[in-house]
């Protein structure tokens, strides 16, 4: 059994990356510019993954910085509500602010606006990752946004090194967000370097294509990473399902069709559903499908962290849904 799966089976994850505040207009279907009221929820890729893991019975601790104000405190309180360990979530003062995301609960004409200027989470530094007791955890999970700016980039690379030294597998969600980077060239170089150090890589066709230099080369890039550095690579294709590369196999899986309310949160839910399923003893293909089911649940409900499946929701969904598309 590879180190990767041994680590995941501990079901106790150290997660690096941002926590943010999400705002979405009420009722579902409303445009932001016409909003009279909005709902608020926890967001941010890494925070969503951490919350999703806890909702599905695992343990998680988040490493990040939040603004030293009411928005940062809101994020910490929400993380605690979901059961996430916030021992390594530290406030930062001055002009740095938590990220805010405003997005709509509709697919047609969907609008999403993210405020990231002076982002507090990018102020995570090497001191923040040096104090972590890595041996307490089974695996390290990170999203690609942590590498978009300094000092977070250097701190995250150092965390990779410490995790490897402690025997933890590294799980990397590419999560490329162009607005966070100074240039596509820098992003491609840095994300590729992070991927080459990772034991498990999850990304969509566009993200692998971006790292490869062309969308047409993305599948080849994913396959090559699985043959060289990574134990497991999951290449997601939206409605077309996913191809998982493991131990010389290429496993094709479909999706669970639902009436989507919005496109946000699917990738974070997939990650949480997948790793907790592996930890719970499901085989690789079933774990991928449970990750896909988790994603379908989230896109069918408002919000991100609030919309993510818990154990009972996922169980009921899997029992009631007619099943995934055939791939």
For 77, other C-beta atoms within 10 Å of its C-beta total 11
Tens digits of per-residue pLDDT, 248-296? 999 999 999 999 999 999 999 999 999 999 999 999 999 999 999 999 9
Per-residue model confidence (pLDDT) at position 179: 86
Residue range 132-177, pLDDT digits in tens: 999 999 999 999 999 999 999 999 999 999 999 999 999 999 999 8
Is pLDDT of 327 > 70? no
Confidence of residue 1 (pLDDT cuts 50, 70, 90): very low
Q: Write the pLDDT tens digit of every residue in 6-22.
A: 999 999 999 999 999 99
Sheet with 12-16, side-by-side order of all strands: 85-92, 59-67, 12-16, 139-143, 170-173, 200-204, 232-236, 242-246, 249-253
Looking at residue 289, its pLDDT comes to 97
- Average pLDDT over the chain reads 96
For residue range 82-130, list pLDDT tens digits in order: 999 999 999 999 999 999 999 999 999 999 999 998 999 999 999 999 9
Percent of the chain, pLDDT > 90?
A: 94
- Classified as helix, coil or strand, 118 is coil
CA distance 147 to 176: 10
Q: Where do the domains of the chain lie, and which CATH numbers do they carry?
A: 3-320 (3.40.1190.20)
């Amino acid at each position: 059994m590879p180190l990767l799966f041994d680590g995941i089976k501990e079901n106790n994850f150290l997660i690096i990356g941002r926590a943010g505040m999400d705002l979405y207009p009420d009722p579902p279907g409303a445009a932001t510019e016409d909003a009279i009221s909005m709902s608020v929820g926890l967001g941010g890729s890494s925070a969503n993954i951490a919350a999703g893991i806890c909702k599905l019975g695992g343990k998680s601790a988040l490493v990040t910085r939040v603004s030293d104000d009411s928005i940062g405190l809101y994020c910490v309180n929400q993380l605690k509500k979901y059961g996430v360990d916030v021992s390594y979530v530290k406030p930062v003062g001055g002009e740095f602010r938590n990220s805010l995301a405003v997005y709509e609960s509709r697919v047609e004409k969907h609008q999403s606006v993210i405020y990231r200027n002076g982002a507090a989470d990018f102020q995570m530094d090497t001191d923040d990752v040096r104090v972590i007791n890595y041996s307490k955890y089974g695996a390290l999970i990170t999203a690609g946004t942590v590498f978009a700016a300094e000092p977070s980039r250097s701190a995250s690379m150092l965390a990779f090194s410490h995790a490897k030294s402690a025997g933890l597998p590294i799980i990397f969600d590419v999560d490329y967000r162009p607005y966070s980077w100074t240039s596509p060239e820098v992003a491609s170089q840095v994300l590729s370097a992070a991927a080459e150090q990772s034991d498990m890589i999850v990304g969509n066709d566009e993200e692998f294509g971006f790292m490869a230099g062309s969308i047409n080369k993305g599948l080849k890039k994913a396959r090559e990473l699985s043959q060289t550095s990574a134990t497991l690579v999951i290449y997601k294709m939206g409605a077309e399902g996913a191809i998982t590369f493991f131990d010389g196999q290429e496993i094709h899986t479909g999706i669970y069709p639902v009436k989507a309310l919005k496109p946000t949160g699917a990738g974070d839910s997939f990650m949480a559903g997948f790793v907790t399923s592996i930890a719970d003893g499901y085989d690789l293909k079933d774990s991928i499908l449970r990750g896909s089911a988790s994603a379908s649940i989230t896109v069918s409900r408002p919000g991100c962290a609030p919309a993510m499946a818990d154990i009972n929701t996922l169980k009921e969904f899997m029992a009631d849904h007619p099943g995934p598309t055939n791939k």
